[in-house]
Structure 1
Amino acid sequence: MKRIVHIITGLGSGGAEHMLYKLLKYSDNERYYHEVISLMDEGVYGSKIEGLGIKLHCLNLNSSNIISSILRSRKIAKNFDIVDTWLYHADILGFIIAKILLRKKLIWNVRHSNLDKDANKSTTLKIVKINSILSKYVNLITYNSNKALENHIKFGYVDKNSEIIPNGFELDKFNFSLEDRLRVRQELGLKEDGKPIITVGRWDIQKDYYTLLRALNELNNHNTKFKMIMVGSDLDYSNVELVELIDKYNLKDNMILLGRRDDVPALLSAADIYVSSSLGESFSNAIGEAMACEMPCVVTDVGDSKLMVGDTGKVVQAGDYMEMSKELFYYINNTVLERNIDARNRVIENYGIEKITKLFEDIWCDLVY
């Protein structure tokens, strides 16, 4: 049995955390033994990971326990074949543990694509630069999109020992349900005289909700009937900045802010159009899940979003609110708009979680002879 310890910066509601959970869930537990180290606390996914029967170690890392956390991680990792890290901070800690202290096989999983200065914190870019120097000593780096690989090589990462493995999706969980659609539409008070649009994410500069609301303002200016459902951490009425934007564009009557929810597949079934306004994505979980629920998607041309939707949706340039409003208008005013079975079939053919998990298992086998 091959033993893999995964180190991740935290276990919040982000895409990397979600993908790690799915990977652990679908991995063959007769061939692979996993444990997880979170640099922070158990977050959103900690209890779910433990629910799989996988041991979780939370370091609650801070300036006063850095050395003890490194030593604790070393003790945990010494009996494993592979140290597998997720997100930039964890990459550094994993490098110290695997390459300096233990001489273990090390995999970095890169889940970020946009490295522009105006879309990232300066501290993040400094860590990426450090990692680019260390990357030559890493056994394997996986990227979840072609764009992520391209941009990191431009930033200085070595162009060797690299694999592109996209995110995978649970097709039995994310599918269209008429029952859920009717129930949620009643719950949210959605009527038939305006198609509901939905976006799923978190409040973050990379998601560029400023452009989204400007696009919605254009729709409003043309007396277009719609509801905008926003789902994710801090996408609720306690977010002062978001509420101020809504007021600025006079969109109060169009908005449904739900914050973080655990019934995303049902919400996707209830809505008619998915929109992603991001400045930067690598390989979007949210877009793939919307496609699996048979939704037409309007997405920005960032990361591998264009590759994901192919000819099943609409693609606009990041920051182009006029083009975004135009494509949203197209779907809203399509009187025969139906569920998008072609989008789901595209996910089935390319991004099923079982297929993606097998790709990860293959690289683990290749590293441990």
Structure 2
Amino acid sequence: MNRALRVFQVNSAFNNDAPAQGAAALARYLNSKEFHATAVSLRHQPESDFTTVADLQHSGIKHISLGMGGFGDVRVLPRLVRLMRAYRPDIVHTHAFRADLWTGIAAKLARVPVFVSSIRGNEWDLFRADHPFLVSQLAMIVSKFSTSLADLLIAVSEGVREHLISVQGISPARVRVVPNGVDLERLAQPRPHPLMVRQDLSMPLDAVLVGTLAVFKARKGLSYLVEAARGVVTRYQQAHFLLAGEGPERNQIERKIMRFGLEKNMHLLGFRPDSIALLDALDIYVLPSLFEGFPRSVLEAMALGKPVVATDIGGSREAVLHDVSGLIVPPKDPQGLADAICRLIESPSLRKSMGEVGRHRVQEHFNARVNAQAHEAIYRELLQAKGYNYIQ
């Protein structure tokens, strides 16, 4: 075979969330002489998602939206089958649970040679945390079936790999680890200066900005961050906490902030399309989550030279070197979180040194180009195992 291999990168939608950004970066960074990528969104793409789609199209990558409604919209299955039969991809790669089921079935019906699925978190824990019991049980059944369709599961961290093997019963031979990668070229694009961002947010000149990007859900641990902030502000009035995001727990977090009297030092910013500019304006990035796969926001903060305080969960402990590029604390421990933040507030030199180590660590180990090269090797291996007369 001497043509470029056709690869479908499939996601629920190519919007601005972390899985979509990862899938889009992979599509862009695959070697175009060897792989021809197409981005496929199952859902209709609203206008707010056009930035990611425009980035794909600017890179010469075709984007196709199949207009699926809810997860149970079975009409997407024949659309997928027709699309695969028309384009004849050599590889189909999904990047989200919502995409796995229908895409996996369609790949089998269309006789696609290789179907792989990226698993970006401990899915069964997520189901239990985000849904009622019966819904989570049904989701786990669907997950078990959809993962059985894949030739290989690509875990974003060793923690996710261990979950797949020990909790979901997946054979170790069917799981490979490829850590998330940051799109360093995206981070290098022009953006407002950090001082301008601080001014726009009306932050005091001497403010030490501690921030996080998160969906406001219980599993993100934001309630513990509010408790930690109370202890931090008691010691350092110049500490200001910026929480960017939306979600079902927002009102509860807002009430807790008011109850603790933190309105002047804790700011809920809502959804921020300028998340990179916001990260760059921070002095400290904090991730208080109760569980994660491999948090992209931590990698982006590290790439921007920010020291990180993160809970000892999943990919965070793999990304952040404790006492070297940041500080790792136990989950659900507001006092530990507060102590770590205070340690960084009181030492600008420590913040700078940890930030520099983190920046170099991402450049060497967690960048999108390295991530794409690892996927290319997996694609080749799987095609050769299927008997493809593969010529590099």
Do the two structures share a fold, i.e. TM-score over 0.5?
yes
Counting only pairs closer than 5 Å after superposition, residues 61-210 of structure 1 correspond to structure 2 as 61-62=68-69, 66-78=73-85, 79-102=88-111, 104-113=113-122, 115-116=124-125, 118-121=128-131, 122=133, 123-124=135-136, 126-153=138-165, 154-174=167-187, 180-210=193-223
Q: CA deviation at 1:360?
A: 1.0
Match in the other structure for 2:64: 57
**Matched residues in 1 for 2:123 and 2:76: separation?**
30
Q: CA deviation at 1:12?
A: 3.5
Match in the other structure for 2:14: 11
**Matched residues in 2 for 1:308 and 1:318: separation?**
16
Q: Which moved more, 1:37-46 or 1:18-27?
A: 37-46
Match of 1:283 among 291, 294, 303: 294
Q: Verify the 8 A CA contact 2:325 2:357 in the aligned structure 1.
A: yes
- The structure-2 alpha-carbon separation of the partners of 1:17 and 1:182, relative to structure 1 and needing over 3 Å to count, comes to same
1:313-360 CA-to-partner distances (Å, cap 9, x unmatched) read 111111111110111111112254543211111111211211111111
1:53-100 CA-to-partner distances (Å, cap 9, x unmatched) read 333232332369834321111011121111211111211112211124
**Matched residues in 1 for 2:326 and 2:39: separation?**
37
Match in the other structure for 1:48: 55
Q: Verify the 8 A CA contact 2:191 2:277 in the aligned structure 1.
A: no
Q: Which moved more, 1:44-53 or 1:137-146?
A: 44-53
Q: Verify the 8 A CA contact 1:196 1:228 in the aligned structure 2.
A: yes
Q: CA deviation at 1:279?
A: 1.1
SS at match of 1:230: strand
Q: Verify the 8 A CA contact 1:108 1:141 in the aligned structure 2.
A: yes
Is 2:345 the partner of 1:332? yes
Q: Any gaps of 5 or more consecutive residues in structure 1?
A: none
Identity of aligned residues (%): 24
**Matched residues in 2 for 1:145 and 1:63: separation?**
29
Q: CA deviation at 1:118?
A: 4.8
**Matched residues in 2 for 1:195 and 1:63: separation?**
43
SS at match of 1:253: coil
Match in the other structure for 1:27: 30
Q: Any gaps of 5 or more consecutive residues in structure 2?
A: none
* TM score, norm. by length of structure 2: 0.85
SS at match of 2:193: helix
**Matched residues in 1 for 2:246 and 2:63: separation?**
23
What's the RMSD between the two structures over aligned residues? Answer: 2.7
Match of 1:294 among 302, 305, 322: 305
**Matched residues in 1 for 2:381 and 2:261: separation?**
56
**Matched residues in 2 for 1:335 and 1:356: separation?**
32
